Each structure stands twice: as structure tokens, then as C-alpha cells.
Structure 1
Amino acid sequence: MVLISLPSTCKQAGPGCSSVAYGASEEIGPFRINKTASGLYLNKFSWNSVANLLFLETPAGVGFSYSNRSSDLLDTGDIRTAKDSLEFLVGWMNRFPRYKHREVYLTGESYAGHYVPQLAREIMMYNKRSKHPINLKGFMVGNAVTDNYYDNLGTVTYWWSHAMISDKTYRQLINTTTSTHPHATILTEAPPLAGVFGCLTIPARLSGHYLGYDPCTEKYAEIYYNRPDVQRAFHANVTRIPYKWTACSEVLNRNWNDTDVSVLPIYREMLASGLRIWVFSGDVDSVVPVTATRYSLAQLKLATKTPWRPWYVKNQVGGWTEVYEGLTFATVRGAGHEVPLFKPRAALELFESFLKGRPLPKS
């Protein structure tokens, strides 16, 4: 099988970040970058232990991806990203035909809550007209941007319930959110994002590597991927792009031209097609919180197959889950916005269960 990992969001709450910087280098890839950016060490909870991983840098301008027309960086958005991603995937399958008939799954987090279902829809439309359909089986998204109105409502509720904003600010934001057309609201007031901190010194070590969440991982990636020897080894930057490699592209973030106000209509299409769909949330994320996801998913009005219950990792509660007709929802206890960074063992268990289509462990 092949897992396509799509990019995440910028810290400024918009698209433009690298799946190599985040997904590959600090979450689910086979290696992590050490704290001096001098080398790599093995990630024992890498998802490539159970699937082939393909990290897609999209749209052009993210990471080492580029366009021959610099104007493309000023003219992109959801629609173009989905179409370009499909074109890449078809080309990649032609370049490596041994994967053509493998099962394909899509995953992503944050703004990839748009990318993933949008690409799934593009693949489904492509399959209807192609003699060589892509064997798409399902997708999974985490802490995913889903619906402007319900994401905003759930985010404000989370901030207030976790004492991140005052009662006065809460009332102001709720009044703004609920008095505006459901698909036109964008939050303009926000507390600091959970998990976005300055670099700290974390003394606890095991075998020379830091334990738990290290807020400096993005810094390590930016040093590492700007090293000429690393670029040569990766066969990257052969066109000599005229700017430094960065984990997120502010140019793309500022010039994003179109965005779906809601991807729930795509969910309805995909549910009708029978795709396996899993949605998960780190339950201490305040960027796209669990409340936002639950409000959004509630709009699908799906019947419950398996009621809310805990699931387990190594005899500990890994989170809670509810299975609906066509969709599984799960939380990951104690995880922030990048679930596999905060809770790598639990994230791998979640991923294995998703691939196999089996219930999360009950004990």
C-alpha cells in the first residue's frame, strides 16, 4: 500500500507548509533530525513500518517544490492545489508502475483537512474517466480545518473552556460568529497557538535524544535542509531556487486565492462512495481543537454504530472514539496540533487500526 502525506498549515492559520519539514522530519517519517541539525536518528514509531510513505510538497513553492513561472506563487489556492496534486500522483504512478495497483490512502493534518478530501474527490473523478484508476481506499485527517463557521464556533468554545480568553472576549467572539453568515466568519482575535513556543532547553534525555515534545524541531529542519551536502544527498534544489528553504512559505500564505468555506459537502460525496474515512483530534490542541471538529462532524448527522468509549495503548487510555456510519472519530489524549510529535506511539496505533479497518483497541 501507499500512504500519501499532504502538507499542513502555517502557524498563521493558513496553507503553505512543508510535509517534509513536519510530517517526515518530526512526525511520521523514518528519521528525526537531531538537536544540532548535524544528523539523523531513527524514529521507532515511524509509519513506514506498516506502509510505503510518500510526502507530497504542494502547492508549488512549498519546501523544495517550485514552478518555472514565479507568478504561480501569487496565484494558487484550494482548486489548483487539488488538480496539481492529482497530476503529480498520476505522473508518479507512471514513473513507478509497480505501485499502480497498490491500495492508496491519503493523510494530513490542519489545513490538509482541505487538501485531503479535495484530492480524494479529484481522484474519484479521475477514476471515472481513466482506464487505469488509482486504487484509493480511504483517507484520514487530524485536527483538520473543516468548516469555517463550526470550526470558529468550536475554537472559541475551547479557548473559553480552557481559560485562554476572558468571559468578555468569549461573548464578543461568539456574538460575532453566530451573527454572521455561517460560511463567512473568520476569527480575527486569537490567543497564542498551543504548541507554538520559542525554543527551550529541555534537559531530559534518553540515548542522546530529547524526550517528548521539543518546540525547536522546526528550527532543526530549517538548518538541516539548507545544508548544501544535505541538498546534494537528496538531489534537491537542483534548479537553485533563489531563496532559503523554509518550513512554511509566507508568500503562498499571503497569496492564497480560493478556499472552500466547508469541505463537509465533499465528506458527503466520499461517504456515499464507500471510502474509509477517519478523523482524529489531539485533545489539547487549541489551533484546530477537538470541539471544532466535533461541531463540524455533527453537521453530517451520521448514525452511531459504536458509542463513545475509551481506546488503549500499552494499558493506558490513548483517547476516546465513536464510530459512525461510514466514519470513525477518535481523540488522542494529551496530544497537541501535531499528534504524532506529541504522542508517537498512540499515533502509530491509530494509523495501523485505520489501515486495517479494525476498531481501536478496547483494552
Structure 2
Amino acid sequence: MATWNWGFAIYVLLISVQYSLTLSDSGPIAQHKLDQVKDLPGQSFNVDFAHYAGYVTVNQESGRALFYWLTEAVEDPASKPLVLWLNGGPGCSSIAYGMAEEVGPFHVKKDGKSLYLNPYSWNNVANLLFLDSPVGVGYSYSNTSSDIFSNGDKRTAADSLEFLLNWIERFPEYKGRDFYITGESYAGHYVPQLSQAIVRHNKANAESPINLKGYMVGNALLDDYNDYIGRFEFMWASGMISDQTYKKLKEACSKDSLLHPSQQCVQITDIAYQELGNIDFYSIFTPPCTANGITKRLMRRWHNVGHIGQSYDPCTQQHSLVYFNLPEVQNALHVYQSNNTSRRWEICSDVVDMYWKDSPMSVLDVYHELISSGLRIWIYSGDTDGVIPVTSTRYSIDALNLTTISPWRAWYDDGQVGGRTQTYEGLTYVTVRGSGHEVPLHKPKQALTLIKSFLAGTSMAPFEQPIESKTSASEKVHDF
């Protein structure tokens, strides 16, 4: 049983008091101005957008407060939609992954002390809001220690809805603004569940300030059994396990094995791991990070996403670990500092993950409800992710029994195949070629193309034949 850190309890109590006093003295709109981030340590470049960070209390009685970071759109933010980004885990920080590695404008350099500007940030096309949810994740906290040990899907959705309602009071310019939710991995639960909560809230409250238009989620945990069998198939089809092992996995690991693994299933799974070798299962064709035993941890966690595979620097999460623990960084982001606690900021909370209370085996029923509500719904997959691979997601989409509107085809980016796509009645599926679990990290340019198409409601670009140059037949003979 984990031991509660009383220093941390003092820390969160002080921070709650500080924010309560601030809010009562100034009101939510004035707090908006106080949340503005003036300067970030290690930022050697100027930006043309405003950004804000701070806390929003979602439960006064227990003192639960969620940390957010908003980066306004680079150009004309008043005309741009609001896009929320959520990372999964459960227990992983959207600041660590979404902001500092993937879709945010501020990425952390290898030294862990300085930043560089991400030219493919999604705030090129939207106002981008990152949320650390639930409490116990990143900088988010609760004054009630038991809250950290009682997180689950239902409360996460409820608290995230409460966050949005309160946050918009602080930022009233976003009332009624087109709003979209995005995320990846275990956010395959968070994103549709929060969308469902908003849709139901809006039905009961005609004057709701949340104008939800749709959501998009990548390499998403959708249905445990489909994810299970799809993973085995992907491992075999990618040449990572033997024919014999694949056959035994299908025989020994039934649907019942998700809840009650048989001894045979455990044994053959161990053999499959051995056959995989020392790889980053979140990005099967890129070198793993071997620092601090990270590769071993990756291979052990089938569903819950801790570290996510990277492309050029597989140890990039370590840079964020350094940067977001710097006192000057926490001061700049309005995180309260206390000398009475040894608590470190974590990329992912093992405590939140370990004590997770409720997680349905499938969210496909939520998809059925939301498709009928008319939301724009997109799912995308990096096609070199082994944890929630293309095969798993395609099985889940197939289980929805949707009518195909536009059949499977390639889409293109700068004349090259960027991936494949298929449009169904109520849902669009897109794959991103050569990308692992974190699509915006591996393929940032293609990910920006993806969010542009999603927000515009247009399909991914088909191939356009280049205009043929006026070359003579004799010259063409030598063009080999």
C-alpha cells in the first residue's frame, strides 16, 4: 500500500488557499490576466501569441484542482476554434507529452533546461488547451488524499466537464466558440467519455457555453478484446513473433483471458515478449531508450501508456522530467513552490495508474451514442505502433457496423503517401505512415495536415497528378 506524503498534503493545501484567495479577491476574469505566462526559462525566441497557465478548482469540498496551459493561436485567435488535448495513461501528463513533445509550441531540448519552437504546433490553426487530468497527474492536485487513490473514468469525465464550465467563466471569449477534443492512447476513453458528458450536459442546459463540434483521438484504446487480438495479429504480420507463437496466442488467450489470464496465456505471452527482443513496442522500427530500464517497463505494460516511443530521440521524456521540475519553470507557470515537500513532478503517475477504479472494457457504445448526435468523429493510427496497432483499431471500427461512404485509399502529403483513410457514416479513419504511438512526434508535418483537415471537415488530400512537363519523346527515353 502506498504511503501518503504529508509534505505533499501541506503543499496542495497551501496552493489551494493561495488560489482560493486570489479568485475571491479578483474574480475569474481578473484571474485570467494573472494566469498569463510572461516568460519561460530557457526560451531564447519570441512568440506572437499569448499563453496562460494555472489552476481551476473542480470540487470545492475536497479541494480538487486541475492544471491547464492555454496557448492561443498564432494568428487571429478570435477567429480560431478551441482545441483541448488530453493524454492518457491513465496517469500521464498532457504537459509532458502533448505540449512538450507533440502538438504544443514549446518543446524541451536535450539539456532539459532550454526550449525550441515547434514549427508544426497545432496552435498554428487553433487555440490549444492542455489539461492535466485527473488529480494526481502532473501539477493537478487534491486537498483530500483519498482522491489520488480513487480516480477512474467516470470521475475523470465529470471533473473535466466541471473544469471546462469553470474555465470558460475565466475566459468568457470562448463561450459558444467552436470546440473540439483531441488526444491519444488511454484518451481513447477520456475523449469520447468527456464528449458524452458535454452532449448530455448541453441537452439539459440549452444555454451551455460549450459548443462541442467533434473529437479526434489517435492510437486509441477502444475495446480491450479487439485491442488484444489485433495486437497479436500485428506482431505476427510484422514478423516480430513466430507462426507457432501466434497460433498458440490465439488458442490460449481468449476473451476471458482479459480478466482471468490462464497459465497457458501467461506463458505464451512471455515467449512472445522474448521473440520481440529489445525494441520500443510503441514505435517498432525506431531505436529504444535504454536509460533507466525504460525499455523493460515498456514491454511490461500492455494497455497503460507510460513512456511513449519517440523517433529521433527515444529518451526525450527525460528532458521534460528535468525541465518541469525546475523551480523557475514552476514559478513561471504559476505552480506553487514549497520547501516542505520532496514531491517531484512526474511524467506519469504510477499511483494514479495503480489505483484506477473504473475502466469499461469497451467504449464502442459511447461511439454509437455520439455518432447519432451528429458530432464530427475522427480516429487516427500511427501504423508502426505495436501497443494499439492499426489492426486493433480496424477491428473496433468494424465492430461498429458503419456504412462506408468513401472506401479505403491512400492520402498524400507533398506528393508522398502520408497514410490511408476511409470514411464511414459518422466516422473517419486515418492512418499515418511510418509513425508510432505518438503520431505528432514521429510525423509532425503530417499531424498538422491531419488536424487542419479534421477542423475543416474535409477528407485527407488524394493524389494529384503533377502537370507533365513538355519533354520530347526522345528525351523521355533517358529519364530512367
**TM-score normalised by L of structure 1:** 0.91
Which residue of the other structure, out of 219, 229, 236, is the alignment partner of 1:143?
Answer: 219
Match of 1:230 among 304, 319, 329: 329
Q: CA deviation at 1:244?
A: 0.5
Quick check: 1:165 aligned with 2:253?
A: no
- Equivalent of 2:231 in 140, 143, 155: 155
For residues 207 and 85 of structure 2, the distance between their equivalents in structure 1, rounded to whole angstroms, comes to 22
Contact 1:149–1:184 at 8 Å: present in 2 too? Answer: no
- Confirm or deny that 1:5 pairs with 2:85: yes
In structure 2, the CA distance between the partners of 1:78 and 1:185, relative to structure 1 (3 Å rule), is farther
Instruction: State the SS of the aligned residue for 2:431.
Output: strand
**Equivalence for 1:246:** 346
Give a deviation string over 1:18-45, Cα, whole Å, max 9, x none: 0100000000001111110121111000
- 1:312 corresponds to which of 382, 402, 412: 412
Residues 1:215 and 2:314 are matched in the alignment: yes
- Alignment partners' CA distance in 1, 2:104 and 2:399: 34
Among 345, 349, 361, the alignment partner of 2:445 is 345
Matches of residues 51-200 of structure 1 in structure 2 within 5 Å? 51-133=126-208, 134-178=210-254, 180=256, 184=259, 189=269, 191=273, 193-195=281-283, 197-198=289-290
Give the conservation status (yes or no) of the 8 Å contact 1:60–1:67: yes
Pick from 361, 368, 380 the counterpart of residue 280 of structure 1: 380
CA RMSD of aligned residues (A): 1.9
SS in 1 for 2:99: helix
Q: Distance in 2 between matches of 1:179 and 1:329?
A: 25
Q: Give the superposition deviation at 1:163.
A: 2.2
CA deviation after TM superposition for structure 1 residue 173, in Å: 2.2
The DSSP-based 3-state class of the residue aligned with 2:214 is strand
Higher relative contact order (CA 8 A, sep 6+): 1
CA separation of 1:312 and 1:239: change in aligned 2, threshold 3 A: farther
Alignment correspondent of 1:333: 433
Q: Which residue of 1 aligns with 2:4?
A: none
1:179/1:119 Cα in 2 relative to 1: closer, same or farther (>3 Å)? closer
State the 1:94 CA deviation.
1.1
1:164–1:59 CA distance, 2 compared to 1 (3 A): same
3-state DSSP class of the match of 1:155?
Answer: helix
Report the Cα distance in structure 2 between the residues aligned to 1:239 and 1:288, rounded to whole angstroms: 39
Instruction: Find the aligned partners of 1:137 and 1:184 in 2 and give their Cα distance.
Output: 36
Contact 1:213 1:341 in 2 (8 A): no
Write out aligned runs for 1:281-296 (5 A): 281-296=381-396
Q: Secondary structure at the match of 2:411?
A: strand
- CA deviation digits over 1:69-121, x for unaligned, max 9? 11111111111111111111111011111101101100010000000000000
Q: What's the CA shift for 1:359?
A: 1.0
- Which letter does structure 2 place at the counterpart of 1:150? N
**Structure 1 pair 236–262 and aligned structure 2 pair: CA distance change class (3 A):** same
Instruction: Tell whether the 8 Å contact from 1:148 to 1:185 is kept in structure 2 after alignment.
Output: no
Counterpart among 14, 29, 41 of residue 104 in structure 2:
29
Give the total of aligned pairs. Answer: 347
Letter of the 1:86 counterpart? L
Report how far residue 213 of structure 1 moved: 2.6
TM-score by length of 2: 0.69
SS class of match (2:132)? coil
Tell me the equivalent position of 1:207. none
Q: Give the secondary structure class of the aligned counterpart of 2:361.
A: coil
Structure 2 CA distance for partners of 1:179 and 1:252, relative to 1, 3 Å:
closer
Secondary structure of 1:180's counterpart equals helix
The structure with the larger Rg is: 2
**What amino acid sits opposite 2:97 in the alignment?**
Y
Q: 1:32 to 1:315 in 2, by over 3 A?
A: same
Match of 1:303 among 398, 403, 409: 403
Residue of structure 1 in register with 2:303 after alignment: none
2:329 aligned partner, one-letter code: V
Q: Judge conservation of contact 2:84–2:182 (CA < 8 Å) in 1.
A: yes
Aligned-residue sequence identity (percent) comes to: 51
Partners of 1:179 and 1:139 lie apart in 2 by 29
Gaps of 5+ in 2: 1-80, 274-278, 293-309, 464-480
Going from structure 1 to structure 2, the CA distance change for 1:65 and 1:230 (only over 3 Å counts) comes to same
Look up the SS of the partner of 1:295 in the other structure. helix
Matches of 1:176 and 1:361, distance apart in 2: 43
DSSP-derived class of the 2:133 partner: coil
Larger deviation, residues 335-344 vs 129-138? 129-138
Alpha-carbon distance in 1 for matches of 2:145, 2:98: 26
Post-superposition offset of 1:280: 0.4
CA distance in 1, matches of 2:419, 2:354: 36
Residues 41-69 of structure 1: per-residue CA shift (max 9 Å, x gap)? 11000000000011010010100000111
1:199: how far off? 5.1
